[in-house]
């Protein structure tokens, strides 16, 4: 059993030839509404990977809310603890994609900002019943802190994907079982610039010394670097033809959580995270690109 506490967004994706200049009005070539948010993406990943998944989060009371919840339910995510929030909009991301492939994103936290520590206290039992709780940083930090506190009391393992990195992340939030930043986030967290393997190891070790029991830095096409009490080691990638790496990190985190919840070693869980990231990178889109349990097992076969 995995519980995900995090953001639920509707991504409004507009494709255009070129970004508009300030003051300019342009016509888009296409418009798509795509469910997203790191929390929701990771919940979908964990559900596809075969776990019983509960989501704790908030949507608004607008037209997007029902579609967001229905979308998660269709993917097999239990939304009993996803609440609608009165007089509030759902989380949104307005994404402009230029023909060149570059994008510009404006987000509205909306109901995600209204997920508060009291909400978490109200569903303490959901955390208690879970083997792993999966967290990101698109909901208020005091809420994340409340989850970590309750999980410590109930003995539930905590995985924190520290994204996006806020100004000054309090060290208490790193007192978890595993953190899984990508390279950029690891640079922001440590203030180091990371390119060589030696630099990756230095960053991972530095983060480990700040309190998490395991540090996993995801390295895109290079796989992932794991550092814990047994030292550092590279967990190799599954080579793939990458077409769109959107949600590769979310696919990785969801699959890692599932294999770890099922009792696999941390190395094996990271290896299956790599398989999930590789599959997501080989397909277009965010949630639709996430592979099923059968696909993960097929790719990850020893
Ligand atoms: P994020 O999406 O958060 O930036 P990464 O780009 O590091 O995260 O991707 C997460 C994981 O997905 C990587 O650790 C790796 O296992 C897998 N992955 C991503 N891109 C590729 C790729 N081009 N080839 C193979 N695996 C990939």
Q: What string of DSSP letters covers 133-146?
A: EEE-SSS-HHHHHH
Kindly report the protein residue whose alpha carbon is nearest to atom 20 of ligand 1: 220
Structure confidence at residue 103 (pLDDT): 86
pLDDT tens sequence across 102-150: 888 899 999 999 999 999 999 999 999 999 999 999 999 999 999 999 9
Structure confidence at residue 244 (pLDDT): 83
Find out whether the beta carbon of 278 lies less than 6 Å from any atom of ligand 1.
Answer: yes
pLDDT tens sequence across 93-107: 999 989 887 888 899
DSSP-derived pairing of the beta strands 103-108 and 91-98: antiparallel
Which of 184, 220, 254, 270 has most ligand 1 atoms within 8 Å of CB, for mutation? Answer: 220
pLDDT tens sequence across 259-300: 999 999 999 999 999 999 999 999 887 888 899 999 999 999
- How many C-beta atoms lie closer than 10 Å to residue 55's C-beta? 28
Structure confidence at residue 238 (pLDDT): 96
CB 218 within 8 A of CB 179: no
Question: CA–CA separation, 224 vs 234, rounded Å?
Answer: 6
- How many C-beta atoms lie closer than 10 Å to residue 87's C-beta? 6
Find out whether the beta carbon of 159 lies less than 6 Å from any atom of ligand 1.
Answer: no
CA 216 to ligand 1 center in whole angstroms: 12
Find out whether the beta carbon of 222 lies less than 6 Å from any atom of ligand 1.
Answer: no
115: closest CA among 94, 84, 151, 87?
A: 84
Tokens 């670097």: give the residue: 225
Q: Provide the CB-side half-sphere exposure for 104 (13 A, CA).
A: 12
Q: Which of 11, 161, 228, 250 is catalytic?
A: 250
Question: CA–CA separation, 56 vs 39, rounded Å?
Answer: 9
Write out the DSSP string of 5-34. E---EEEEEEEESSPPPTT-----SEEEEE
Atom of ligand 1 nearest to the CA of 219: 7
Kindly report the protein residue whose alpha carbon is nearest to atom 26 of ligand 1: 278
Question: For 129, phi and psi rounded to 5 degrees?
Answer: -80, -10
Which of 45, 252, 274, 291 has most ligand 1 atoms within 8 Å of CB, for mutation? Answer: 252
Q: Is 247 left (phi over 0), alpha (psi -120 to 50) or beta?
A: left
Question: CA–CA separation, 278 vs 291, rounded Å?
Answer: 9
Structure confidence at residue 102 (pLDDT): 84
Instruction: Flag whether pLDDT at 70 surpasses 80.
Output: yes
Catalytic annotation on 161?
no
Burial of 14 (0-12, 13-18, 19+ CB in 10 A): middle
CA 185 to ligand 1 center in whole angstroms: 13
* Chain length of the chain: 302
What's the sign of the alpha-carbon dihedral 53, 56, 59, 61? positive
Domains of the chain: 2-7+38-90+111-300 (3.40.1190.20)
Q: Give strand pairing partners of 83.
A: 58
Q: Quote the mean pLDDT of the chain.
A: 95
Q: Is 86 left (phi over 0), alpha (psi -120 to 50) or beta?
A: beta
Non-local (6+) Cβ contacts of 284 within 8 A are 243, 244
Instruction: Flag whether pLDDT at 92 surpasses 80.
Output: yes
Which of 138, 221, 226, 248 has most ligand 1 atoms within 8 Å of CB, for mutation? Answer: 248
Find out whether the beta carbon of 234 lies less than 6 Å from any atom of ligand 1.
Answer: no
State the complex-level ipTM: 0.98
Atom of ligand 1 nearest to the CA of 274: 16
Tokens of residue 278, six digits? 């590789």
Kindly report the protein residue whose alpha carbon is nearest to atom 17 of ligand 1: 277
Find out whether the beta carbon of 109 lies less than 6 Å from any atom of ligand 1.
Answer: no
């Amino acid at each position: 059993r995995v519980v995900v506490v995090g953001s639920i967004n509707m991504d409004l994706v507009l494709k255009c030839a070129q970004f508009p200049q300030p003051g300019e009005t342009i016509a888009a070539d296409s418009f798509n509404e795509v469910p997203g948010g790191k929390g929701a993406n990771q919940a979908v990943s964990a559900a596809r990977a075969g776990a019983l998944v509960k989501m704790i989060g908030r949507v608004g009371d607008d037209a997007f809310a029902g579609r967001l919840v229905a979308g998660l339910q269709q993917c097999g995510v239990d939304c009993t603890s996803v609440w609608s929030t009165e007089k509030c909009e759902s989380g949104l991301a307005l994404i402009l994609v230029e023909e060149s492939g570059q994008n510009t994103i404006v987000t509205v936290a909306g109901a995600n900002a209204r997920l508060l520590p009291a909400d978490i206290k109200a569903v303490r039992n959901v955390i208690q019943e879970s083997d792993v709780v999966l967290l990101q940083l698109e909901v208020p930090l005091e809420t994340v802190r409340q989850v970590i506190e309750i999980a410590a009391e109930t003995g539930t393992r905590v995985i924190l994907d520290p994204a996006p990195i806020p100004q000054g992340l309090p060290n208490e939030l790193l007192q978890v079982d595993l953190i899984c930043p990508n390279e950029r986030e690891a640079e922001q967290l440590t203030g180091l610039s990371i390119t060589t393997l030696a630099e990756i190891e230095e960053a991972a070790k530095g983060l480990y010394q700040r309190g998490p029991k395991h540090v996993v830095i995801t390295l895109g096409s290079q796989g992932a670097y794991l550092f814990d009490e047994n030292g550092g080691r590279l967990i190799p990638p599954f080579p793939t033809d990458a077409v769109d790496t959107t949600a590769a990190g979310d696919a990785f985190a969801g699959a890692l959580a599932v294999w770890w919840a099922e009792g696999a070693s941390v190395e094996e869980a990271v290896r299956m995270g790599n398989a999930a990231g590789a599959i997501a990178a080989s397909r277009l889109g965010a949630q639709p690109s996430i592979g099923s349990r059968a696909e993960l097992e097929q790719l990850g076969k020893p």
